[in-house]
């Protein structure tokens, strides 16, 4: 089903970036991006995701390492010679030009014939749903419309890669959801590579082929949305991607782990015996059962109705669990918690 090709389009080799003030924004990043892939760099602010994007766009020069594009080293190439285009966080439209001229900007620089300019601009505006807006000044447009102009402007140059720097950050929730779907549709329709930067895990999960989770300039995990969600490599990833219960545990032997005062069968092997580990359990993977059937017993502390499910916190002997359930138990009720082996994720303790 995936249309991602195997060939590497971009290779980042051992990229490091130290800013003038001494801030290490990026530490020895190695990453490849394949043709037609939708890659998302996900992480909290200051994790190096935007720096990575700017290094690929050419706005920054790395302190060390190389940026390879289709096998060619482009580390020293200025932005205007790179076949990538950027959608900026705050759109960065040209306020002195109207919608048409904003979208035509790149084509005019290439001295494209007027007929081609007209055709491409029309096509782009149609794709982003802004036909009839040609003569409008950009600062009279709404945030969502400005964003569409920014996307059309970047795509009019027919880039190999579209770089998107938190493009939906300034939009309201409903619009953001719509734009997520539209961006994904455009990416598949045009068959070009998208490199998307966001701190919104939900956005990353719903749009990407590959997610790169970053923290403090280091890659934490690279994988498909399913991998990253279901098999987080460490506590940071587990915590950052979705909500989860993360608690210390002890790996007794292969396929048996102890946490919160009880022993649980699990599916993980190879951690050794009696090794301290971190255990991750997603709130939706915990089943509420009658107290006598539970692997753990606890008392309901809070209940919040979330629409599809109830979000509960349940206090057991040694931990307060976050549980999502379609069943509602009243506050103060005694409940049993049950977790199947497959839903218990074991992670090596992070070196402090």
Partner 1 sequence: MKTKGFAAPYAVWMILFTIAPILLVVIYALTDRTGRFTLENFRLFLDPIYFSVLLRSIGMALLCTLLCLLIGYPAAYFLADRHVDPRGMLIVFFIIPMWMNFLLRTYAWLTLLESGGLVATAVNWVLRLFGANEEVRLLYSYQAVLMGMIYNYLPFMVLPLYTVLTRMDASVEEAAEDLGAGRAQVFWRVKLPLSLPGVFSGITMVFMPAVTTFVISRLLGGSQFRLYGDLIEQQFLFTGDWNFGSAMSLVMMVLLLISMGLMNRFGDREGGGVL
**Binding positions for partner 1, rule: CB under 8 A:** 57-59, 78-80, 84-86, 88-90, 92-96, 105-106, 109-110, 153-154, 157
Minimum CB–partner distance for residue 150 and partner 1 (Å): 8
Do 212 and 41 meet the contact criterion of CB atoms below 8 Å apart?
A: yes
Minimum CB–partner distance for residue 147 and partner 1 (Å): 13
Do 262 and 249 meet the contact criterion of CB atoms below 8 Å apart?
A: no
Minimum CB–partner distance for residue 26 and partner 1 (Å): 19
Extract the tokens encoding 136: 């409008």
- Nearest one of 319, 248, 254, 236 to 279, comparing CA atoms: 248
CB nearer to partner 1: pick between 105 and 319: 105
Minimum CB–partner distance for residue 59 and partner 1 (Å): 6
Minimum CB–partner distance for residue 267 and partner 1 (Å): 47
Extract the tokens encoding 187: 């990416």
CB nearer to partner 1: pick between 87 and 246: 87
- Nearest one of 201, 197, 229 to 38, comparing CA atoms: 197
246: Cα separation from own chain's centroid:
21
Residues 6+ apart with CB under 8 A from 120: 103, 104, 107, 112, 156
Minimum CB–partner distance for residue 162 and partner 1 (Å): 11
For 16, counting Cβ atoms within 10 Å of its Cβ (0-12 exposed, 13-18 middle, 19+ buried), the class is middle
CB nearer to partner 1: pick between 53 and 179: 53
Which residues does residue 87 pair with via DSSP β-bridges, in sequence order? 164
CB nearer to partner 1: pick between 101 and 311: 101
Minimum CB–partner distance for residue 157 and partner 1 (Å): 6
Minimum CB–partner distance for residue 80 and partner 1 (Å): 5
φ, ψ of residue 206 in degrees (nearest 5) = -80, -20
Rounded Cα gap, residues 149 and 152, in angstroms: 5
Minimum CB–partner distance for residue 95 and partner 1 (Å): 6
CB nearer to partner 1: pick between 98 and 313: 98
DSSP 291: G
Q: Return the axis-axis angle of helices 173-190 and 143-155, rounded to nearest 10°.
A: 10
Do 270 and 277 meet the contact criterion of CB atoms below 8 Å apart?
A: no
CB nearer to partner 1: pick between 139 and 350: 139
Which residues does residue 12 pair with via DSSP β-bridges, in sequence order? 31, 67
Rounded Cα gap, residues 162 and 152, in angstroms: 11
CB nearer to partner 1: pick between 79 and 242: 79
CB nearer to partner 1: pick between 162 and 266: 162
CB nearer to partner 1: pick between 88 and 319: 88
Q: List strand residue ranges (DSSP E) for 216-319, in order.
A: 218-223, 245-253, 256-259, 262-265, 275-281, 287-289, 296-305, 310-315
């Amino acid at each position: 089903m995936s249309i991602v090709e195997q060939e590497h389009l971009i290779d980042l080799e051992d990229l490091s970036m130290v800013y003038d003030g001494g801030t290490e924004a990026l530490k020895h990043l190695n990453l490849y991006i394949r043709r037609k892939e939708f890659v998302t760099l996900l992480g909290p602010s200051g994790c190096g995701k935007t720096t990575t994007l700017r290094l690929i766009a050419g706005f920054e020069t790395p302190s060390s390492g190389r940026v390879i594009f289709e096998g060619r080293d482009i580390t020293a190439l200025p932005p205007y010679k790179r076949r990538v285009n950027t959608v900026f966080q705050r759109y960065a439209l040209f306020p002195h030009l109207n919608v048409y001229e904003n979208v035509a900007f790149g084509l005019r620089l290439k001295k494209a014939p007027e007929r081609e300019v007209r055709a491409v601009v029309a096509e782009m505006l149609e794709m982003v749903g802004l036909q009839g807006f040609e003569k409008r000044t950009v600062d009279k447009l709404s945030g969502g419309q400005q964003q569409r102009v920014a996307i059309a402007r970047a795509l009019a140059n027919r880039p190999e890669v579209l770089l998107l720097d938190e493009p939906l950050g300034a939009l309201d929730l409903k619009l953001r959801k719509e734009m997520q779907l539209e961006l994904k549709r455009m990416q598949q329709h045009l068959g070009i590579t998208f490199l998307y930067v966001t701190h919104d895990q939900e956005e990353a999960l719903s749009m990407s082929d590959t997610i790169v989770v970053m923290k403090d300039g280091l890659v934490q995990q690279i994988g498909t949305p399913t991998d990253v969600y279901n098999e987080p490599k460490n506590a940071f990833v587990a915590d950052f991607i979705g909500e989860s219960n993360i608690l210390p545990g002890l790996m007794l032997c292969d396929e048996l782990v102890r946490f919160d005062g009880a022993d649980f069968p699990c599916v993980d092997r190879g951690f050794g015996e009696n090794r301290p580990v971190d255990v991750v359990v997603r709130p939706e993977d915990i089943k509420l059962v009658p107290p006598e059937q539970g692997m753990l017993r606890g008392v309901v502390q809070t209940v919040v109705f979330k629409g599809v499910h109830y979000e509960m916190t349940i206090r057991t002997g040694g931990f307060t669990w976050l549980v999502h359930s379609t069943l509602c138990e009243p506050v103060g009720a005694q409940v049993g918690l049950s977790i199947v082996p497959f839903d218990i994720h074991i992670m090596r303790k992070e070196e402090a």
